[in-house]
Structure formats: C-alpha cells, structure tokens
Amino acid sequence: MKIIIVGCGKVGEQLAAILSREQDDVTVIDKNEQVVEDLCARYDIMGTVGNGASYGVLSEADIAHTDLVIAVTGSDELNLLCCLIAKKAGGCHTIARVRNPEYNTELNFLKEELGLAMVINQEYTAAREIARVLRTPSAIEIDTFAKGRVELLRFRIPEASVLDGLNLMQMHQKLRCNVLVCTVERDGDIVIPNGEYMLRSGDVISIVSEAASEEDFFGKIGIYTNKCRNVMIIGGSDIGFYLTKMLIDHGINVKLIEKKFARCELLSERFPKATIINGDGSDRQLLMEEDLDAMEGFVALTDFDEENIILSLFARKSNVRKIVTKINKIVFDEVIDTLDLDTTIHPRNLTAEYILQYVRARKNSLGSNVETLHWIVDNKAEALEFHIQDSFDKQNIPLLELRLRDDVLIACINRGGKIILPRGRDVLLPEDTVIVVTTTAGLNDISDIFER
C-alpha cells in the first residue's frame, strides 16, 4: 500500500517504522525538516517538508496515487483538516487521531460526516485498557476478541501453584477448565507450547478463554480475581480523565493526585464522586498520608517515564495489589522488562495496533480479513482475528489434517457466537472468525498460517 503519514511525533515515527517493515510504500510529512531527514535516513521511507493540510504539499507527496493518509499531528483540528483535504484531493482512505475529551462523544459524527475510515483517540484507548486490567487484577495484560466474548489474558504463575510441574495435557485433565494456553515466557524466551510442555512457577503465560470461564479457571489455581475496589491515580492528564470516569462508572473508588490546581478544579467539577488532591504525586509523605498502602490499585500517569517507574516500584513496596505504569519511550524496554513492573501501558503502541489492523485488513486476499490485531508478550508476538470468507480453500478440513507453521497456534473459533477452543477434529467454515497467535509478524491472511 502507498501510505502518507502526516506528523512525525512519537506516534508518527513508530507508524513509519512499523509500516516500512510491513513493506508498505511510506511517505512522511512534517514542518520540521530535520525530523523528516532523520526518519528518512533511519527507515526505508520518503519524506516531504511542509504543512500536511496544504494541497500543494500533499500533491508533492503524490496524494493522487495514495491509498491511505494517517494524520497524527499534535492538533486534532489539523488532523481532521488534513484528512478532509486528502480525501478530496486523492479519494483515498483517511485516519485521524483526535485526542481532546470534548470531541470524544462526537467521534462517530466526525467519522461519518468527514468520511474517515477510522478515528483514533489513544488516551481513551489507553484508559480503557487500564480499566480492564484493574477489573481483573490477576492479569498483566488483557486483549479482547469476538466483540468482547473472548479474552486473551497474560499472567504470572505464582509460587507453589497447582500448575507448577504440570504439562498442558495434565492441566486440562486435572482442572477441566475451558481455557487454552497460547504462549509461555520463560528466561526471556517465548514459546507457543504443545500438550507436552511443562509449566513452572514464575512462567508468564497467555490463555484464551470465554470471559465466563476465566473466574472458574483462576479459582481452581488459587488466584484472586475480584476487581480493585479503590485505586490511586497519579496524574490528571486526558488518560487520567477518561480512566477516572470509567472506574467511577464501575463502582470503583478513585483518588487522583495532580500538580496543576486548574486541572484539579476541572476534574473536581466533572467527577464529584472522586477524591481529587492538588499535590505532587512523587512526594512520598503525601502518598503515605493519602493511604497508598491501603490501595488495591495504583496507576502512574505522569509525563515522565522515569517518575512513573519509580512511583510504581514504591507502590509495589507498599504492597499495592495491582500496579499499572504508563511508558511513552520504548527504547529501553529490555531494562524495563527486568523491573517486574506488573502491567505497563504504551499509548502509542495501542494507536499503532489499531492502524496496523486496518492496513492488514486492506491488504488481505480473498480468503479472509483481519478483524482484530493485538501485539502481545511485550510486542514479541501477535494475536489476530481473521474472518473466514466463502473463497477460503481449506474449509471443512479437520485441523489435524492441515499443516500449520511451527510458529502459529489456532487459539479459538467463533462460530455465530458459539466459542470453540479447537481440537484436531474441528474445522474452519465460512463466516467463522478465527483467533491466531503467532511469533511471526506480518500475517495478512488466514492462508499465511499454513505451510506452503
């Protein structure tokens, strides 16, 4: 695909890196000449310097032959204008990032009226992910598929767990739970396991399950799953704004600490049920005075990764049950992984996930369509949901007769709302949606999972 990215900030840079790796023809547009030159030198892409809302600049970037324009500048209004002009000039598909909470209730209207393919609000998306893990604190990460019917949960096997020393066949025989283990992380390696793979305490595993079956599974392995009843949030940014609303709506008590007095006033007006404190969230004495050690959940949302990490480590020392840390820079992820921070949220990753899902869906062949895409296991694997079409050439063949690639697992089949955790005799049929977990990036079509 030929793609133009307008805006070369953190998200624009990450999209350029990912889409160029996906073999797309990428051109970036930004007013800062040095930033454009640096990106073009770093990745296999083209660059144009100028205003992305200018017809002349878009023409220079070859808008006439472009399939998709993605506008991710720092201004919502500029992003919308870029998409509107790009659509008029080139008739292409358009994606706009819109972050202001004032527009959040109007996103569907903007999408329809401006003919946008997608509107992304990364702060709202990040808040939704955080709220999800606070409602299931045993999980490090939760991704949803099949319109919310199926969840992929990642968690660490605790010491002295009933899972310690069991292979996967024994686990199913002993527990009789309707879950499927997709990945196992051990000593820095990631494995898509078979039935003989033996689990150990300390392993981080990902399971696929119907939401209704999770509580039964966690109960049998002795892991506490009730939602956090009270949560402390450090930072009243847009993510904090959205998260506060979501938690209050779910009956969770919220205590939010924010430095800026004007922001505290706004938050207090909008959320009278929350406790809003004007203060420095990095002040140890303030945290203890506000009963950090009595909190069940803690979320660090300041603008500085280092501060978020230190606050999260302090919250762990204070025995907070569930800790979520916002990370903006991903350059030192190897170091961050060694800190055992519990759940980390990367807002720009979430934005890139949704856009990549759309791009993959546009590039599919006739056999299937990418409906959902999530990066899992710290971006070392992908979980994709494919929609099977009538032209799929391996329909109605038992899975045990199909030769799957070694790095692929069919984790779930959704057949008209009936969730199937597949066995060898199960088959794929048109209109099924199929969840696939793989350690190889770049799958565009269900046919890519089979050996050639």
pLDDT digits (tens, 9 = 90+) for 89-129: 988 999 999 988 888 888 889 889 889 999 999 999 999 99
**CA dist., res. 37 & res. 225, Å (int):** 49
Residue among 280, 279, 284, 311 nearest 298 (CA): 311
Residue among 288, 346, 345 nearest 320 (CA): 288
Predicted confidence band of residue 46 (pLDDT cuts 50, 70, 90): very high
Please check the confidence at residue 366 and state whether its pLDDT lies above 60: no
Pick the range with the lowest mean pLDDT from 303-312, 423-432, 442-451: 442-451
**CA dist., res. 344 & res. 328, Å (int):** 10
**CA dist., res. 20 & res. 71, Å (int):** 17
Please check the confidence at residue 414 and state whether its pLDDT lies above 60: yes
Average pLDDT, the chain: 91
Q: Per the structure block, which two tokens stand in for 397?
A: 């063949």
pLDDT in the model for residue 339: 77
Q: Per the structure block, which two tokens stand in for 436?
A: 């696939």
Residues whose CB falls within 8 Å of the CB of residue 359, separated by 6 or more in sequence, listed in order: 1, 3, 19, 22, 24, 68
pLDDT in the model for residue 368: 59
Q: Are strands 433-438 and 381-388 parallel, antiparallel or unpaired?
A: antiparallel
pLDDT in the model for residue 309: 94
Pick the range with the lowest mean pLDDT from 188-197, 213-222, 289-298: 213-222
3-state per-residue secondary structure call for the chain: CEEEEECCCHHHHHHHHHHHHCCCEEEEEECCHHHHHHHHHHCCCEEEECCCCCHHHHHHCCHHHCCEEEECCCCHHHHHHHHHHHHHHHCCEEEEECCCHHHHHHHHHHHHHHCCCEEECHHHHHHHHHHHHHHCCCCCEEEEEHHHCEEEEEEECCCCCCCCCCEHHHHHHHHCCCEEEEEEEECCEEECCCCCCECCCCCEEEEEEEHHHHHHHHHHCCCCCCCCCEEEEECCCHHHHHHHHHHHHCCCEEEEEECCHHHHHHHHHHCCCCEEEECCCCCHHHHHHCCHHHCCEEEECCCCHHHHHHHHHHHHHCCCCEEEEECCCCCCHHHHHCCCCCEEECHHHHHHHHHHHHHHHHHCCCCEEEEEEEEECCCCEEEEEEEECCCCCCCCCCHHHCCECCCEEEEEEEECCEEECCCCCCCCCCCCEEEEEECCCCCCCHHHHECC
The mean pLDDT value for 382-388 works out to 92
Burial-class residue 176 by CB neighbours within 10 Å (0-12, 13-18, 19+).
exposed
> Tokens 């070392």 correspond to what residue?
380
The mean pLDDT value for 307-321 works out to 94
Cβ atoms of 312 and 325 closer than 8 Å:
yes
Please check the confidence at residue 224 and state whether its pLDDT lies above 80: no
131: left (phi over 0), alpha (psi -120 to 50) or beta: alpha
Residue among 46, 97, 49 nearest 71 (CA): 97
Residues whose CB falls within 8 Å of the CB of residue 99, separated by 6 or more in sequence, listed in order: 76, 121, 122, 123, 238
> Tokens 């898509």 correspond to what residue?
192
Cβ atoms of 6 and 72 closer than 8 Å:
yes
Residue among 81, 103, 84 nearest 93 (CA): 84
Domains of the chain (ranges plus CATH)?
A: 2-120 (3.40.50.720), 127-220 (3.30.70.1450), 230-345 (3.40.50.720), 359-449 (3.30.70.1450)
pTM: 0.84
The mean pLDDT value for 364-373 works out to 69
Higher per-residue pLDDT: 428 or 406: 428
